[in-house]
Chain A
Amino acid sequence: DIQMTQSPSTLSASVGDTVTITCRASQSINIWLAWYQQKPGTAPKALMYKASNLEGGVPSRFSGSGSGTEFTLTISSLQPDDFATYHCQQYHDYPYTFGQGTKLEIK
């Protein structure tokens, strides 16, 4: 199985900051990476697919990059609504696997 490792596990930031979350795959997954946002007590929401393609309705302050084994999710000019947990997921091969999640909290 392909292992996905996110860093950091927790990230403290302030409104207006720019933050970056990293996701590493144990083997190459090309660009077959998705990002999801999850707020407490709610279902995940799709943010991005193919490493850098935004889902409809996702603000442009979210951006993604990477290919192969290393990927990043960058959120520019953090808004109060952005404080949540972010999960990466590879869909290069079965079984799909998720990273352990990165909790973005208010400093």
Chain B
Amino acid sequence: QVQLVESGGGVVQPGRSLRLSCAASGFIFRKYGMHWVRQAPGKGLEWLAITSYAGTDSFYGDSAKGRFTISRDNSKNTLYLQMNSLRHEDTAVYYCAKAKSGADCSSITCPLDYWGQGTLVIVSS
């Protein structure tokens, strides 16, 4: 079955960097786009970024542009989110999620189907 396991969260000071990882199993990782989504305490979901199945194309939400970088290593079945210049408002649970594919998608975009359990990032001095 599909499993996505995030790691790398923790407490970090403002201005510092953190890299999150998402280990994938139960599906052919290299064939699917992958997303990062976050949820601040008591708030709604915020989409951050997507990388294509090969890692050659990425798109970002406004909060992630310029500070966060999504990447993947298909040889390790692992997705990453590099977060730089962290701010208090980046405090959230960060989820990785798998994209659907094929006929379930529009011409350029696909919905999310499986989500990891999330990893908590707290930005605090």
Tell whether A pairs with B: yes
Task: Give the interface segment out of A11-19, A69-77, A98-106.
Answer: A98-106
Residues of A within 8 A of B115 (CB): 43-46
Bound-complex Cα distance A39 to B50 (A): 24
CB distance from B97 to the nearest CB of A (A): 8
Given A43-B117, A44-B115, does the pair A100, B106 have CB atoms closer than 8 Å?
no
Measured CB to CB, the closest approach of chain A to B1, in angstroms, equals 11
CB pair B109–A91 under 8 Å, yes or no, is yes
Give the docked Cα–Cα distance between A43 and B93 (Å).
9
Contact between chains at B104 and A50 (CB < 8 Å): yes
Q: Is the CB of B47 within 8 A of A93?
A: no
Answer whether residue A23 sits at the interface, using C-beta atoms and an 8 A cutoff. Answer: no
Q: Is residue B54 contacting chain A, with contact meaning CB distance below 8 A?
A: no
Q: Can you name the residue of chain A whose Cβ is closest to the Cβ of B6?
A: A43
Interface residue total, chain B, C-beta cutoff 8 A: 27
Known: A43-B95, A43-B115, A49-B104. A91 touches B110 (CB 8 A): yes
Shortest Cβ distance from A50 into B: residue: B104
| B45 is an interface residue with CB less than 8 A from chain A | yes
Question: With contacts A43-B95, A53-B104, A95-B61 known, is A89 near B111, CB below 8 A?
Answer: yes
Contact A55 B118 (CB under 8 A): no
Cα distance, A46 to B111, chains bound together (Å): 9
Within 8 A of A (CB), among B58-113: 59-62, 95, 100, 104-106, 108-113
Task: Pick the 7 closest A-B CB pairs, nearest first.
Answer: A95-B61, A34-B111, A96-B47, A49-B111, A43-B115, A94-B59, A91-B109
A-B contact list, 6 entries, CB within 8 Å: A34-B112, A38-B45, A46-B115, A95-B61, A98-B44, A101-B45
Q: Which residues of A contact B (CB under 8 A)?
A: 1, 30, 32, 34, 36, 38, 42-46, 49-50, 53, 55, 87, 89, 91-101
